[in-house]
Structure 1
Amino acid sequence: MTTHSQPWPAGTPCWVDLMASDLGRTQDFYRAVLGWTYSESQPEYGGYCNALLDGRAVAGLSPTMEGMEDAPHVWSVYLATEDIAAHAARAVRAGATSVYEPMEVGPFGSMGMWTDPTGAVLGMWQAHEHTGFEAYGEPGAVVWCDLMTGDPAAAQSFYAEVFGYEYQDIGDEGMPYSLFTVPGAQMPAGGIGGPDPEAADAPPGWSVAFQVADVDAAAGRVREAGGSISREPFDFEYGRMTVATGPDGEHFVLMTPQEDM
């Protein structure tokens, strides 16, 4: 068990969160599926709470904000930044439009959200007391984040301009896909690709994969907890995965990586 206590390098997916129509129901669902416990919901921050794995923060949940009852429920992905104002300016120059301008979240950090030129929403997080994922790449925690879009070439150009991503193409004719690495890193931090032939009509967006010890057993827990499986478990080059749907229709991936990854 490893605890990550420092801010993540700029451009790295460092946090995910979800607005729930019924916070208690959603907490119960992910407790059953991933074994999460939760910090106390904080009224001064809209009822936001951290999902915890052995006491380490792995994700955020909050009640749906007033006025956003009709907004789709999706897992939002945040990219790390050491200077949110500077990266926000780069993003706008590169063609992004603002959803939420950068704002301070008490002593925890600063956040903002934008729509990239392909239509995908991205968040940014500048850490202060809250550094993002304290656990990553183990059962119950996030193991991978990627962007699927109808114009992956435009997305790659945008994120390279904003965060300096470098790419390794691992796709094929049926599905373009590239791993991205942030400056100074040795390992890929995520991927950009699409469109997935299995979900050609899906809107562009960042998505999240949670690691589990046994994908098939986890798929069973999803169904028992009231969710559904939109793509049955299958093997692929890097492990085994399934696509699941939570209480508000939010999609996420459950994945068991190969042991040598």
Structure 2
Amino acid sequence: MSQNHGKVWWTELMTHDVPGALKYYKAVCGWHFQPMPMGAGVYHVAHCGAQPVAGVMDMAMLPGMETAPADWFSYFAVDRLDKALEDTRSRGGSVLREPFDVPGIGRIAIVLDPTGAAMGLITPAR
């Protein structure tokens, strides 16, 4: 296993009020934000100093999430995504979104653990 396997790799705030969230986290955490245009809108990468620490996105960019409550969502690094999905299914979890590639970031899937908690699994790009 790599030394990244099992680590919290990334976290992002999904919210209906991006401007309010950016103001709040700037004041409370001292973060600054770099906008990153995406097909359906803008993703904001939060930085603590020079280190990227989180993302902030408008839930309107996510089909079916328009009325869901705001939430922090975490991604966990795994060495072999397909194996992690097999293990998820065989241990009572389920796959909500099959693997997809994000260029320069990695291969990602969205799952529910056996308790119903949602998370992302990612095999980071090398």
The normalised TM-score by structure 2 is: 0.87
Higher CA-based Rg: 1
Q: Which residue of 2 aligns with 1:189?
A: 53
Q: Is the 8 A contact 1:152 1:176 kept in 2?
A: no
Distance 1:143 1:230, change over 3 A: same
The normalised TM-score by structure 1 is: 0.44
Q: Which residue of 1 aligns with 2:73?
A: 207
Q: Which has the higher strand share?
A: 2
Q: Unaligned stretches of 5+ in structure 2?
A: none
CA-CA distance at 1:251 after TM superposition? 0.3
CA-CA distance at 1:222 after TM superposition? 0.4
Q: Is the 8 A contact 1:175 1:197 kept in 2?
A: no
Taking the TM superposition and a 5 Å limit, the aligned residue runs for 1:56-95 are none
Aligned length: 122
Q: Which residue of 1 aligns with 2:26?
A: 160
Runs in 1 of length 4+ with deviation above 6 angstroms?
none
Structure of greater relative contact order (alpha carbons < 8 Å, 6+ residues apart) = 2
Percent of pairs identical after alignment?
32
RMSD, aligned CA: 1.8
Distance 1:162 1:193, change over 3 A: same
CA-CA distance at 1:157 after TM superposition? 1.0
The letter for the 1-side match of 2:57 is: G
The letter for the 1-side match of 2:81 is: V
Q: Unaligned stretches of 5+ in structure 1?
A: 2-136
